[in-house]
Amino acid sequence: MRNLLFNSSKSILLMITFFTRIPIKLQSEFDDNDYKLGIILLPIIGIVIGIGLLILKIFTFISSTYVLGLILTLFYLWISGGLHLDGLGDTLDGLFSGRDRESQLEIMKDSRLGTFGALGLIFVIGAYIILLGEGTLATVFLMPIVGKSSTMLSAYMSDYARDEEGLGFKFITLSDKTVRNSAFAFSFIIGIITNYMILIPMVLTFIIAGITTKWIQKKIGGSTGDTLGFINEFSQVMFLLLTNVIL
């Protein structure tokens, strides 16, 4: 039990340093088992981000939902470091370039931002400002959990698209049924605890994420770290939008 707790803590800290700006110094060495355990526990990173958003939502006494949404969005951008937004921009530039598979993958590696990437970033950030400001406490808290869980599901459904290893290689190749089941378990349990009706937009978001993953696979033959970042941001916006429309 002690070893399990130690390994879990080590893996969670690894994921925190990778997916957030929370300053943690790691002195341990990590192997594939640590990394896979971290992937299984990735929704906990969503919980950490969700708690931060929830605290701001509760204690920011501002009547304007747009100003509140801007504050929440800026906090999210800071704590996540814009990691997934970078992937979103690169993915949109590649997938909508109208080129062949190899060219799309090459465009996604280019650090320059194109038209489709810029438009996507404007849309997503604008959606966050509006939907986070108007969202309920449960929705705001669950958003990053659903985002991380959707990323896990996408990785489970995917092969790695590139010939050379990139940032998403381990995440995709180490994701199996345990990762998928962990994504569902964390999301559904927390969803039931907060508001069982929220399971409807949550399930719809997972379905949309799965369909989108299959579409990406047809375009480039699998997934990459960039496409997983796209799935994370796209799923979070879809979840916020669906909860706003349905609930």
Separation of alpha carbons 51 and 148, rounded Å: 14
Residue 63 lies in a domain: yes
Which residues, other chains included, contact 237 with Cβ-Cβ below 8 Å and sequence gap of 6+?
124, 127, 128, 131
CA dihedral sign, ordered 44, 46, 51, 54: negative
Separation of alpha carbons 190 and 213, rounded Å: 24
Helix H, strand E, coil C: the string for 5-17 is HHHHHHHHHHHHH
Residue 39 lies in a domain: yes
The predicted pLDDT at position 3 comes to 62
The predicted pLDDT at position 1 comes to 59
Residue 23 lies in a domain: no
Residue 6 lies in a domain: no
Full-model pTM = 0.94
Residue 27 lies in a domain: no
The predicted pLDDT at position 125 comes to 97
The predicted pLDDT at position 147 comes to 97
Based on its alpha-carbon atoms, the radius of gyration of the chain, rounded to whole angstroms, reads 17
Residue 16 lies in a domain: no
The predicted pLDDT at position 65 comes to 95
* Domains: count for the chain: 1
Q: What is the DSSP string of 29-80?
A: ---HHHHHHHHHTTHHHHHHHHHHHHHHHHH---S-HHHHHHHHHHHHHHHH
Residue 235 lies in a domain: yes
Q: Which mean pLDDT values do the consecutive 10-residue runs of the chain (247 residues) have?
A: 70 88 78 89 95 96 94 96 92 94 93 94 97 96 97 96 87 94 95 95 98 97 96 98 94
The predicted pLDDT at position 154 comes to 97
Residue 101 lies in domain: 34-246
Residue 227 lies in a domain: yes
Q: Is 20 within 8 Å of 83 (Cβ atoms)?
A: no
